Amino acid sequence: MTYRIALASDHAAVALKASLVAWLRDAGHAVVDLGPEGEASVDYPDYGYALARTVSGGEADFGVALCGSGIGISIAVNRHVGCRCALVNEPLSARLAREHNDANVLAMGARLVGVEMAKACIEAFLTTPFGGERHQRRIDKLSSPTLG
């Protein structure tokens, strides 16, 4: 199955993002690279917010958020109620993020994962369906914090 996937990073993850964009396009996915293009210092919230708007607005099925550690950009993405961004470093967490949390954005740190591990995480993420059932009530609460 192919998806519309948006990627965004900060300056620390530009090289990883470029590798992942090429790999995802080669796999047949429609990819939107939200930047940045170069390694000049940028602020990860700007790119995290752009990614969140793209995913929550329906312009992409999923997002991949990258920065040096993955922490900052994941916080930025998660400030948008329409996004459930999971910070992962290995494929099991990526799989569980989809299966249990219906995550629609995957975050990783370029200083913590290499290209091959990042690809393995994305592959696990994209091939795992949401488990539904008992998990759905929790997702409903994430989408409407007043339910808790």
Q: Is the dihedral of CA 28, 118, 111, 100 positive or negative?
A: positive
Q: Using one digit for the tens of pLDDT, what is the confidence trace for 93-110?
A: 999 999 999 999 999 999
Set 29, 80, 83, 100: catalytic member? 100
Beta bridge partners of 63: 6, 105
Q: Using one digit for the tens of pLDDT, what is the confidence trace for 69-79?
A: 999 999 999 99
Set 67, 83, 85, 121: catalytic member? 67
The answer to whether 100 is a known catalytic residue is: yes
Q: Using one digit for the tens of pLDDT, what is the confidence trace for 117-140?
A: 999 999 999 999 998 777 887 877
Instruction: Give the CA distances from residue 130 to residues 37, 38, 50, 94, 136, in Å, rounded to whole numbers and listed in that order.
Output: 33, 35, 24, 12, 9
Across all residues in the chain, what is the average pLDDT?
A: 94
The answer to whether 85 is a known catalytic residue is: no
Q: Using one digit for the tens of pLDDT, what is the confidence trace for 25-66?
A: 999 999 999 999 999 999 999 999 999 999 999 999 999 999
Confidence tier at 17 by pLDDT (50, 70, 90): very high
pTM of the predicted model as reported, rounded to 2 decimal places: 0.94
